[in-house]
């Protein structure tokens, strides 16, 4: 087989595989939404200090980045923008713990990265 011919066929093979992977991921996400899976990530973060000032600071940081945070000292929702898409979720507060549930995130942003960014806002 001529090398030029191999190069010609490689993009077709890669694009075909890429399409199938994208299609498969789409079906997984659709299935998860239909079966009632409501969060992509869940984690708890501890905090110390005044809860009101913590939420105020978090709200300012999220709004500065083009998102929003709505809620009270017990629970609420948030949406934050990133260069590759938005992250949205909810929070519940019990004692000195915030339970976060991420409902939507870009595929390329890991749950660990979101947890790390939110933990940095809380310190």
Q: 74, 93 in Cβ contact below 8 A? A: yes
Encode pLDDT of 56-90 as tens digits: 988 998 898 889 999 999 999 999 888 888 999 99
Reduced 3-state DSSP string for the chain: CCHHHHHHHHHHHHHHHHHHHHHHHHHHHHHHHHCCCCCCEEEEEECCCCHHHHHHHHHHHHHHCCCEEEECCCEEEEEEEECCEEEEEEEEEECCEEEEEEEECCCCCCHHHHHHHHHHHCC
31 pLDDT more than 60? no
Q: Residue 40: what are its φ and ψ, rounded to 5°?
A: -90, -30
The pLDDT confidence band at residue 28, using thresholds 50, 70 and 90, is low
Residue recorded with tokens 């110390």: 48
- The structure's pTM equals 0.65
- Residue 51 has which token pair? 């809860």
Q: Taking the domain 38-121, which CATH number applies?
A: 3.30.310.10
Distance CA(62)–CA(88), nearest Å, equals 11
């Amino acid at each position: 087989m001529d090398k030029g011919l191999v190069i010609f066929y490689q993009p077709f093979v890669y694009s075909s595989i890429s399409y199938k992977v994208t299609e498969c991921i789409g079906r997984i996400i659709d299935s998860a939404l239909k079966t009632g899976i409501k969060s992509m990530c869940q984690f708890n973060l501890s905090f110390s200090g005044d809860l009101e000032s913590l939420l105020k600071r978090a709200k300012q940081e999220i709004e500065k980045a083009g998102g929003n945070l709505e809620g009270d000292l017990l629970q609420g929702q948030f949406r934050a923008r990133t260069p590759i898409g938005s992250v949205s979720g909810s929070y519940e507060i019990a004692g000195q713990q915030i339970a976060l549930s991420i409902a939507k995130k870009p595929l390329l942003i890991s749950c660990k990265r979101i947890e790390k960014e939110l933990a940095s806002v809380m310190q």
